[in-house]
Amino acid sequence: MTAGLLRDLADRLARPVGESERKRARLHLLDWLACVASARNMPAGTLARAVSGHAWEQSAYLGNPLEMDDVHRTALLHPGPVVWPAAMGVPGAALVTRLDAAVRGYEAMIAVGMALDEHHYAHWHATTTAGVFGAAAAAASLLGLSAQQTADALANAGSVSGGLWHMRHGDNATKQWHIFHALRTGRDAALHAAHGVTGPHGLLEGPQGLFAAMTRTPGALGGGADGWLIHQVSFKPFAACRHAHPAIDAALQLRAGDTLQAPFTVETYADALAFCDRPDPASEQEAKFSLQHAVAVVADGRDARPEDFTPDAIEALRELRAQVSVTEDAEFTAHYPAHFGARVNGHAVADTLGDPERPVGPQEIGGKMAMLAEWGGLDTAEADRAQALALEGDDAAALDTMLAEWLA
């Protein structure tokens, strides 16, 4: 069997995971649990319970409905919703084993995502197309597969990768289906590799491979031998599409100085407009993808929490939204996606709260956990329980029990 990029990636994944990465993974675990808690009583929660009787599998539907899942900027994808259900889904595995699996899942998913180009992102939902690699890597780690077997799993998962962006043009649950598909595909590929099913290790770069089919100018795989890519992932403090976060952040800074006044002008990068130029959102999902609504939320004295994107909020903020204009700024576009920037009424942010340049820590993620647990109908004690188990504990079975109770 010839060597290929996926075998190189599998060799990288075989490195020992350090305590720094495990500590970082715990923070992402808590962040993801907060997202799951928030969505448990949403339609996605009902769907999850109907589709599966296993809590970790159900959770694949619950990591992204509120648009607060973690994000890697240059890969333009959300690792947490895919990787954590894969990394945590083997009963009996020790927590340290699951944390290591998550670190490897983040690595594989982001590495592939960073090689995808603008053409890919214009048509394909990278959280799914690269997500199958993350789920396969996490599952392969849990199963103790060799580098050869891990490359087989990555290759076969990638051979059926997909996920078209067309679902953005309507109010639907396709994003949740994409995550579930990525989880199941990657996990099943690892299970098959464990039983000897081989795969094409040149699947990425081959003449009829993923790059040839889905990109025009692919780059190199992200990351390298030194360090782990999980340290580059951003957290999302606001309940909206990540492309709206820079405008929210800039507006909040203006409001803190009592200088946020109508009319509101937003200048930002081209992709933010492609995804979030939506002056008249008609649903909660559309409001989360509306720069106009996001700025109106802040101007109304709100903090971009989940309740600020509901139908009631959409109606209440109609007049403020009408005072928001949005345009592209070539400088922000030139620095994207390494930096997600925006300018509101002349006040600019180059990097947003939650990015590695403006990091948040256990206190902020713990606060997010408390907020989203309340939104999901859980009491404060459950938020404290999740924080203790994720950040300080070593009892994986207790995490299993907690999630099962949340989703019962």
Query: What secondary structure does DSSP assign to 301-353, as a single string?
Result: T----GGGGSHHHHHHTHHHHTTEEEEE-HHHHHHTTTS--EEETTEEESS-T
For the cut 80, the answer to whether the pLDDT of residue 269 exceeds it is: yes
Displacement of CA 325 from its chain's centroid (Å):
28
Distance CA 1, CA 199 (A): 9
For the cut 70, the answer to whether the pLDDT of residue 343 exceeds it is: yes
Q: What is the structure's pLDDT at 171?
A: 84
Distance CA 365, CA 370 (A): 9
CATH of the domain spanning 5-232, picked from 3.90.660.10, 1.10.4100.10, 2.40.50.1070, 3.40.50.10490: 1.10.4100.10
Q: What is the mean pLDDT of residues 195-222?
A: 98
Q: Which CATH architecture has domain 242-349?
A: 2-Layer Sandwich (3.30)
Of the candidates 270, 222, 266, the residue with the CA atom closest to the CA atom of residue 111: 222
Of the candidates 98, 94, 118, 96, the residue with the CA atom closest to the CA atom of residue 106: 98
Q: What is the structure's pLDDT at 157?
A: 98
Q: What is the structure's pLDDT at 169?
A: 87
Q: What is the structure's pLDDT at 168?
A: 85
Residue ranges of the domains in the chain? 5-232, 242-349
Q: How many CA atoms lie within 13 A of 290 on its CB side?
A: 30
Read off the pLDDT of residues 213-227 as tens digits, 9 standing for 90 and up. 999 999 999 998 789
Q: What is the structure's pLDDT at 224?
A: 83
Read off the pLDDT of residues 373-403 as tens digits, 9 standing for 90 and up. 999 999 999 999 999 999 999 999 999 999 9
Read off the pLDDT of residues 220-256 as tens digits, 9 standing for 90 and up. 999 987 899 999 999 999 999 999 999 999 999 999 9
- Return the sign of the alpha-carbon dihedral for residues 223, 228, 232, 234: positive
Looking at the chain, the whole-number percentage of residues with pLDDT higher than 70 is: 100
Read off the pLDDT of residues 280-333 as tens digits, 9 standing for 90 and up. 999 999 999 999 999 999 999 999 999 999 999 999 999 999 999 999 999 999
For the cut 50, the answer to whether the pLDDT of residue 1 exceeds it is: no
- Return the sign of the alpha-carbon dihedral for residues 88, 92, 95, 96: negative
Average pLDDT over the chain, rounded to whole? 96
Looking at the chain, the whole-number percentage of residues with pLDDT higher than 90 is: 96
Q: What is the structure's pLDDT at 2?
A: 57
